[in-house]
């Protein structure tokens, strides 16, 4: 059974690029959401193994998503991506993210994180 990644990204082009990238990783099925409200609905309706979220969303922030997800679901891993972020990476991790990547994301770095975070995949 494939693992499910939820890509939460307001920019349609970036969302499609990330979905395509994860679809190319063996054993991963991408789902996507352009907003936090759609992300919360996707988490409620699906077994999500990994969330990849932009830090800045039209209806909140990726940090809001981390907080709510960590307290209300069992999503094992959350990654934050951002072109610019007011917080240093160490602070992003303290908020509950498992990793932080700057945009444009590097495919090899994301793949390495996925392989290390999910070694049986």
Q: For residue 65, give the H/E element and its range.
A: helix 62-72
pLDDT tens for 12-29 read 999 999 999 999 999 999
What is the Cα–Cα distance from 56 to 89, expressed in whole angstroms? 15
pLDDT 10s digits, 36-46 = 999 999 998 98
Name the residue with tokens 């934050």: 80
Domains of the chain: 3-116 (3.40.50.2300)
Cα–Cα distance between 118 and 3 in angstroms, integer? 9
């Amino acid at each position: 059974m494939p693992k499910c990644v939820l890509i939460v990204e307001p920019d349609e082009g970036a969302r499609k690029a990330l979905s395509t990238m994860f679809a190319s990783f063996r054993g991963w099925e991408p789902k996507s959401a352009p907003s936090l409200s759609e992300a919360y609905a996707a988490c409620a309706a699906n077994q999500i193994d990994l969330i990849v979220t932009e830090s800045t969303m039209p209806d909140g922030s990726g940090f809001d998503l981390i907080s709510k997800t960590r307290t209300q679901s069992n999503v094992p891993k959350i990654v934050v991506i951002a072109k610019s972020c007011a917080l240093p990476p160490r602070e992003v991790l303290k908020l509950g993210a498992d990793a932080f990547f700057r945009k444009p994301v590097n495919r090899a770095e994301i793949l390495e994180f996925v392989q290390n975070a999910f070694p049986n995949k």
